[in-house]
Every structure is written in structure tokens, then in C-alpha cells.
């Protein structure tokens, strides 16, 4: 059938166009723009900013236009993003003119319009060792192009950049995180400021240890190349990997200050990795005990109602034994929910009111590899003797 033909007296081309509009309209309604903000509280003295400092576009080896990265970040509830296209690896150079600053320039107006902070960055892409490094807070990416990795990093440092080592196991023997002499050189020059403790959904315990030992900033990023929705479904509660930055204000300068001061926690697969000094206040800000005063009669039981104000499930395991109470050994504080934690008296004749701290360890909050965060749930317990039969 030719497009010049008519159906019921209406030109076929007009019908096809109307059908397209109808389909587009219904799809637009089904997929309207929606921002889903993960509930992660601020901690005393700081804002908790949700950040992703490692992603790619078609201006290196990514599969999307820079504006798509901004829209994805907004929909996923991020506050800050950095597009870090490769300096050396440009597989689309036959289709796009090479311009190391262009992805940032294209993305910036959309980020400003949506209220996101866009950090200018690039990825220094060298063979292992030393591997790949991201440089953030650049003024111009072009001067970073050099054959030698030290010249690349120095050019970033000369611009006041924050530099971190990406995905340490990448192309290493048996995919292990190995610290090479080249890394020692960068570190001793003061040019290495952080390491990715998580990349995508992969967590690196050795990188976590290095950050603690060498006083380096911990980062977690998606390193996304394809559309984010291919790997994370935020509408079903699947949260992308991110770096939580504890900043004094919501500005680029405050983010930079916080990164250099190592005030970060890494979020990946509903687990948090970071220093105790930040994990502890984050947990406390996330938890509310609805009934902090309870009564226990003899060896009877009581329920402690604990509300999780965050979107992070906290997996608690009892850390020690109490003299006066039997406490529930394991409990998960589900996101945005109230959970009842069971306690029971140990003595029939105990009487009086006591301040008691229930000792737990949060398995998915890790101040060090294989180590859960110790926490306490504080109660005022009034003990009453059991009634005599």
C-alpha cells in the first residue's frame, strides 16, 4: 500500500503519524519522569550527598550521550555525578570528533537545570601497572594527555585535582588487588588521594584495607558504560553503587574538601563500607526506638519497637550476653519499617529500673573487611518480680 492512498477518506500518512503520536503519548505516560531518592540520613554537622564519580559516554567507550547520564543520575536520586571519559581510549573517534572536554560541556546545562552538581573529570587509562586513575575537579582535560602515567597525573595535580585509583583488580594476575611499585611512587609523591573500594557490584577487601592503612579516601562508583537501567532497576528498589560524601554544604568546593578529608562511605548492594567515625553516626541517625522504656516481669518477655528511617536494611547479630536479659540473637531492621526485637528476663526476682545497652554488631556495615560495626540499642528497663504461685 502506498502512503498516498487513503483509508476511510483519510490519507494513510496522516493515520500513521496519528498512530505514532498515540503510542508515544501512552508510553510517555507509563514512563513519566520520576526521581527516586534513597533515604539515607544526614549525620551531625554534615549533609550526606549521594555521588557517582565514575561513568562513561560515547565520547569514550560508553553507549549513551552525556545528557542521558545526567537524566539517569537525577532519576536515581543522586546529588553529584562526574562523567570520566577515557583520555586514551576513544573507540568512537571515527564517528565523533575527539574532544576531551566535550562530554562535560554537553552535560552541564542539563545538570544545572535538574539541580545536580556535575564534577569535571577524566580517566587516565594506562596498562597495568599502574592501571587506571580518575582525576576530578579538572579545569581542562586536554593537558592530561601524555605517554607516561606520571606526566598525566602531574598535569591533573597541577590543576588541583583529586586523584583516585580505579578498580584495583582490573587486568591483574588472577583478578587480585596488587599494589605495585608504581603505586608507591604515586602515593609517596602525595598524588594518590583515594581508591575505589567498590566498582559496579564488586567490593575489594584489599583496597578497603589499603585505604585504612594509608589514610586514603574510599570510593564506590558504577563505572557504567551501558544505560544504567541495564544493571540497576531503581523502581524496584535496586540502588546503584555510590559514594556517600559527608559535606559541609551542597557545593562543589565542599565536596572537594570532604573528599580530601576522607569523609566518605561506600554503598554497594545494601552494604556500607567506611570508617567507624562515619558509619556509627549514620546508623544512629537511621534508627529510632519507639518505646525506649519497657517493663519486664520475671522471666517474661517484652518487645522493643525499632524503626528504620532509612532505605538500608540493617542486619544485626547479638555481640555479647547480658546478665539481666535474653535478647534476640539475629534481627533485620527492614527499610522504612518498624520491627519488634524480642527480649526476655533472666530472673524471677529481679526488681528495679536499669539503663541497659543491647549489644549488637551490624553485619552489613563494615569499618574493616570481615568486621561488622558494633552498636548499642539503649533502653530503660523496669524489672518486676514474677507473681508467686
What are 200-255's pLDDT values in tens digits? 999 999 999 999 999 999 999 999 999 999 999 877 778 999 999 999 999 999 99
Q: What is the pLDDT of residue 11?
A: 52
Asked whether the predicted pLDDT for residue 27 surpasses 90, the reply is no
Cell numbers that stand for 8 in this block: 476511510
Confidence of residue 365 (pLDDT cuts 50, 70, 90): very high
Cell numbers that stand for 326 in this block: 535474653
Cell numbers that stand for 223 in this block: 563505572
Q: What is the pLDDT of residue 183?
A: 97
Spatial contact of 306 and 287, defined as CB atoms under 8 Å apart: yes
Q: Which residue from 243, 241, 212, 216 is spatially nearest to 371, judged by alpha carbons?
A: 212
69 versus 20: the higher-pLDDT residue is 69
Rounded to whole angstroms, how far apart are CA atoms 158 and 154?
6
Give Cα 335 distance to the centre of its chain: 16
What are the structural domains of the chain? 31-274 (3.20.20.140), 287-384 (2.60.40.10)
Spatial contact of 161 and 141, defined as CB atoms under 8 Å apart: no
pTM confidence score: 0.90
Q: What is the pLDDT of residue 71?
A: 98
Confidence of residue 26 (pLDDT cuts 50, 70, 90): very low
Rounded to whole angstroms, how far apart are CA atoms 18 and 22?
6
**Looking only at Cα atoms, what is the longest distance across the chain?**
97
Q: What is the pLDDT of residue 173?
A: 86
Confidence of residue 12 (pLDDT cuts 50, 70, 90): very low
Rounded to whole angstroms, how far apart are CA atoms 162 and 336?
35
| Residue entry with cell 583529586 | 162
Q: What is the pLDDT of residue 113?
A: 98
Confidence of residue 93 (pLDDT cuts 50, 70, 90): confident
Confidence of residue 31 (pLDDT cuts 50, 70, 90): low
On average, the pLDDT of the chain sits at 92
Q: Which residue from 293, 305, 344, 301 is spatially nearest to 322, judged by alpha carbons?
A: 344
Amino acid at each position: 500500500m502506498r502512503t498516498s492512498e487513503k483509508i476511510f477518506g483519510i490519507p494513510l500518512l496522516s493515520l500513521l503519524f496519528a498512530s505514532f503520536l498515540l503510542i508515544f503519548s501512552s508510553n510517555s505516560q507509563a514512563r513519566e519522569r520520576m526521581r527516586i531518592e534513597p533515604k539515607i540520613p544526614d549525620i551531625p554537622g554534615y549533609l550526606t550527598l549521594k555521588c557517582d564519580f565514575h561513568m562513561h559516554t560515547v565520547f569514550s567507550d560508553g553507549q549513551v550521550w552525556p545528557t542521558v547520564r545526567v537524566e539517569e543520575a537525577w532519576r536515581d536520586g543522586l546529588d553529584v555525578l562526574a562523567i570520566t571519559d577515557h583520555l586514551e581510549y576513544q573507540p568512537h573517534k571515527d564517528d565523533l570528533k575527539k574532544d576531551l572536554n566535550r562530554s562535560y560541556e554537553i552535560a552541564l546545562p542539563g545538570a544545572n537545570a535538574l539541580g545536580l552538581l556535575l564534577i569535571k573529570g577524566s580517566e587516565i587509562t594506562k596498562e597495568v601497572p599502574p592501571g587506571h586513575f580518575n582525576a576530578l575537579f579538572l579545569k581542562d582535560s586536554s593537558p592530561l594527555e601524555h605517554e607516561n602515567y606520571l606526566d598525566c597525573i602531574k598535569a591533573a595535580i597541577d590543576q588541583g585535582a583529586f586523584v583516585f585509583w580505579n578498580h584495583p583488580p582490573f587486568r591483574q594476575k588472577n583478578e587480585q588487588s596488587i599494589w605495585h611499585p608504581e603505586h608507591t611512587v604515586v602515593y609517596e609523591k602525595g598524588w594518590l588521594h583515594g581508591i575505589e573500594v567498590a566498582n559496579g557490584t564488586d567490593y575489594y577487601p584489599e583496597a578497603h584495607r589499603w585505604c585504612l592503612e594509608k589514610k586514603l579516601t574510599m570510593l564506590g562508583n558504577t563505572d557504567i558504560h551501558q544505560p544504567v537501567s541495564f544493571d540497576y532497576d531503581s523502581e524496584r528498589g535496586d540502588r546503584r553503587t555510590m559514594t556517600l560524601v559527608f559535606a559541609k554544604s551542597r557545593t562543589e568546593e565542599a565536596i572537594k574538601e570532604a573528599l580530601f578529608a576522607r569523609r566518605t562511605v561506600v554503598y554497594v548492594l545494601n552494604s556500607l563500607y567506611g570508617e567507624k567515625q562515619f558509619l556509627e553516626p549514620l546508623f544512629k541517625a537511621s534508627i529510632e526506638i519507639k518505646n525506649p522504656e519497657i517493663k519486664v516481669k520475671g522471666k517474661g518477655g517484652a518487645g522493643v519497637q525499632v524503626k528504620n528511617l532509612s532505605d538500608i536494611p540493617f542486619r544485626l547479630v547479638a555481640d555479647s550476653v547480658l546478665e539481666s536479659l535474653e535478647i534476640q540473637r539475629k534481627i533485620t531492621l527492614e527499610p522504612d519499617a518498624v520491627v519488634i526485637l524480642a527480649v526476655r528476663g533472666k530472673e524471677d526476682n529481679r526488681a528495679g529500673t536499669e539503663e541497659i545497652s543491647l549489644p549488637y554488631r551490624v553485619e552489613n556495615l563494615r569499618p574493616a573487611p570481615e568486621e561488622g560495626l558494633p552498636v548499642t540499642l539503649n533502653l530503660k528497663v523496669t524489672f518486676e518480680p514474677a507473681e508467686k504461685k
